[in-house]
Homo-oligomer: A and B are copies of this chain.
Amino acid sequence: MSKASVLCSYLDGGSGMPTYLLDIIQKHFHIVWLEDFEKDSSKCSNNILAILNVHGQPKVTQSLLERLPNLKLVAVVGVGYNHIDTKLLHSFNVKLSNTPFVLDDATADLGMTLLMAAGRNLCAVKDFAMAPDTTELQFNEVSCDVSSTTLGIVGMGRVGYKVAQRAKGFEMKILYHNRNQRPSVDEKAINATYYKTLNEMLPLCDYVMVTVCLTPETTNIMGAEQFKLMKSTAILVNISRGATVDQDALLKALNGGDIGFAALDVTSPEPLPRDHPLLKARNILITPHVGSATLTTRRKMMQKAMNNVLAAAEGKPLPSEVKL
């Protein structure tokens, strides 16, 4: 019997499927590329068991679902699924899975990388050190401290907790805001102090890192009111989703001196339109949503996505199903 198929967007580049993940897929399944499917869906549509959704591609539309009669699963290679119409999937009796846990370490690492690079002004001093006209060091240029400063974590889930574990090694004071207080054994392990009210925590922080999931409640959780409450030297780091930060308010806060700096791995949309004023702020650092972008992590994510597809093929419970 021939292998079942999975539908993928395209190979390499942009939101395409990276070559370095193909072996994990092809060990079990045949890949149908979207372009070939669009040319002649009749040849392969019956055999497609799952859509592998990478960086939001292929887009899961009603028209696509109507042409996939035996589709069992949309397997998101990532954690966030706010780009998927869950009601639509449910109406087609198609399941949804994602790949939690395996990218927590890499994402927390990137959060700390952004925090430290922002605090120590890394990109600017690197540009200075490597510029063609630099002939003398500048002893009078200084940056912010990292060690022994105060970090406020907004959303103490798995990633937030891992950020705190890392920050503890720098003897940072850890504050956190979360819907629910963590058990005291968890808090003690990272010397963390709970703030039920976000706005009470913010004035105390040298760094604020946003690690919440994007929900209606956390959309724009960092807005004009929050920035006004922060220290004028404070540094905002966002590794959650772009929409957790009110970008118009952030721009005003950065330009008006309400806060000192922002380091964002996520924006809304991604990438920002090239004429977006945040790209012109002098006190910002933006990275292209690379929280999970290490080879090891991406391979773990694909393996986890495959485990879901394999379970769906065999009619077994999915290892990480998103309930619709």
Contact = CB atoms under 8 A, between A and B. Distances in A.
Contact of A169 (B13, B167, B290): B167
Contacts of A171: 105
Interface residues of A, number: 70
A279 B134 CA distance: 12
Residue from A136, A274, A287 with most neighbouring chain B CB atoms (10 Å): A287
A143 B289 CA distance: 13
Given A126-B287, A271-B135, A19 B293 contact: no
Given A109-B170, A287-B129, A54 B122 contact: no
Contacts of A324: none
A112 B116 contact: yes
Contacts of A15: 136-137, 139
Given A126-B285, A148-B105, A297-B145, A138 B14 contact: yes
A271 B113 contact: no
A207 B146 CA distance: 21
A220 interface: no
Nearest to A297: B145
Contacts of A120: 109-110, 113, 290, 293-294
B136 A271 contact: yes
A119 B286 CA distance: 17
Interface in A114-144: 114, 116-117, 119-120, 122-123, 125-126, 128-130, 132-144
A296 interface: yes
Residue from A17, A116, A270, A297 with most neighbouring chain B CB atoms (10 Å): A116
Contacts of A134: 271, 274, 288
A79 to B, nearest CB: 14
A105 B147 contact: yes
A288 B138 contact: yes
B126 A286 contact: yes
23 contacts: A14-B138, A15-B136, A105-B148, A106-B146, A109-B116, A109-B119, A109-B170, A113-B116, A113-B117, A117-B117, A122-B123, A129-B286, A129-B288, A130-B286, A133-B274, A135-B271, A136-B271, A137-B270, A138-B288, A142-B293, A142-B295, A143-B295, A145-B295
Given A106-B147, A109-B170, 5 more contacts: A109-B119, A112-B170, A137-B271, A144-B294, A166-B170
Interface of A: 12-20, 54-55, 105-106, 108-110, 112-114, 116-117, 119-120, 122-123, 125-126, 128-130, 132-148, 165-171, 270-271, 274, 279, 285-290, 293-298
